[in-house]
Structure 1
Amino acid sequence: MPQMMPLNWMMLFIITNLIFSLFLILSFYNHPMKMNSYNKNLMYNKNDTKFIHNFWPIY
């Protein structure tokens, strides 16, 4: 590319992908910190399966 524009479609695509990957990585990095709440949910509702979606969004 001879001239680099400040707002081209590749720049926007890369920025959006970086933001999305950042949120994804941070959500999975914070996942082990929430195991105490996960165990409390499991103790209160033993037959409930909706608690998985609170901690594993890709499940």
Structure 2
Amino acid sequence: MPQMMPLNWLTLMIFFILILFTFNNLNYFVYLKNQTYCKFNLKKLKFNWKWL
């Protein structure tokens, strides 16, 4: 039945978009950063910026 073909393409497109969306979200949110990478020492530099 050719009348039903656009519905089939629409459902396939929606299904593909949902799979793509979930795959991207899982790759973005499940990634665990290495905690030792973020640890670094910041030395506070004390400058005197007074106009005296």
TM-score w.r.t. structure 2 length?
0.49
Report the TM-score, using the length of structure 1 for normalisation: 0.44
**Larger helix proportion of the pair:** 1
Bigger relative contact order (CA 8 A; separation at least 6): 1
Structure with bigger gyration radius: 2
